[in-house]
Amino acid sequence: MAQKIGILTTGGDSPGINAALRAIGKAALSVEGTRLIGFQDGFAGMLNSMVVEMENPMFSGILTTGGTILGTNRDRPDHILINSKYENRTSDIIAAYRSHGLDGLVCLGGGDAQDSAGLLMREGLNVITVPVTIDNDIPHTDTSVGFNTALEVAAEAIDRLHSTAISHHRIIIVEIMGRESGWLTLGAGIAGGADVILIPEIPYHLEKISAAILARAAIGKRFSLIAVSEGAISVENVEFFENARRTNLRIRGSRDGADISARLDAIEKRAAGDTLHLANRLESFTGLQTRVTILGYLLRGGAPSAVDRVLATQLGTACAKFIQQGQYGVMVAPRGGGVETVPLDQVAGMVKTIPADHAWIHGARLVGTSLGD
């Protein structure tokens, strides 16, 4: 069945987006009469009619390239930056969908993509998503496009920092992306042999990290590698904000205190991941020189791994098949070695965090890695 399909990428970039675009495009255009139009720079491009007709020549040579040929940003339909202010432009996005005569819209990205697609689905639009994020934090998926590549980059960084940590007898802290979940940090820390791994799911005790490092020094290992998620938070900070919330509710009541509670949540997120502060305190506690390396956007760049290219192709071609079958309101999810559809209302607004009993956590503990608790 011939259809006119829109496609965009939204949220943070990730290795493998272009591979997924290629797979969707080639598979979709193999059906006679199908048209595919791309919106540049995410929902902002959809709002401003930044449109490109996507034909087969566009997909030549992009399987191995990083980034996204369509461009991306973090605007959402209800949160678009206009003249330095964020506005709800959902109605205009819906109007753009209608004006282009679309039969469906494909959104590629992480949590932002799932949230935006869920919103548009509830407004009656035909939307389908592909999970593309280095954070691996999308519910009901085994993994996401980009995670494997970022994992390899982070693990290699830890490998390379081992030599300078040993040479200078230092504590080296490697900050890795992951504000709400620690999949990337935990996996890279295990693969790189980090001595301490700190993730958002397990609040850490500074004293216990220091004790683990000093115990290593006592047996002649005068260096330590720490892999820390940008969203890792100390137990004392968690307790401080919990007490602040309780005090706020007791004094102001549930209704009046709601706004302040929301502000406390935002402040707590900013308090998490203060890696430089962690480094200074560890140096004071242990007496060992401490240095910080922040990998940041390095993890999103470069060519996707072979694993991510295969996954992107698998999900992209499956997405095209589901479009032809008229399956919308779903995310295309890698599960159990295959591909399934998951209703967007089971994904939007949710985060896949690491369960306390996960095998990776169990394995890290068994090889003597400190998780700060």
Residues that are catalytic? 135
Per DSSP, what are the bridge partners of residue 51?
39
**How many beta carbons lie within 10 A of that of residue 111, not counting itself?**
23
What lies within 8 Å, CB to CB, of 27 at 6+ separation is 316, 317, 319, 320, 321
Radius of gyration of the chain (CA): 23
Q: Which tokens go with 219?
A: 């047996």
Give the H/E segment covering residue 184: helix 183-192
Residues 282, 364, 177, 242, Cα dihedral to 10°: -70
- Evaluate whether 184 touches 228 at the Cβ level (below 8 Å): no
**Got the DSSP string for 50-67?**
-EEE--GGGGTT-TT--S
The DSSP bridge pattern shows strands 51-53 and 80-82 to be: unpaired
- Evaluate whether 183 touches 135 at the Cβ level (below 8 Å): yes
How far apart are the C-alpha atoms of 348 and 184, rounded to whole Å? 21
Question: Interior CA angle at 12 toward 11 and 16, to 5°?
Answer: 110
SS (H, E, C) 315-337: HHHHHHHHHHCCCCCEEEEEECC
Pick from 32, 41, 107: nearest CA to 70 = 41
Supply the angle between the helices 306-324 and 147-168 in degrees, to the nearest 10: 160
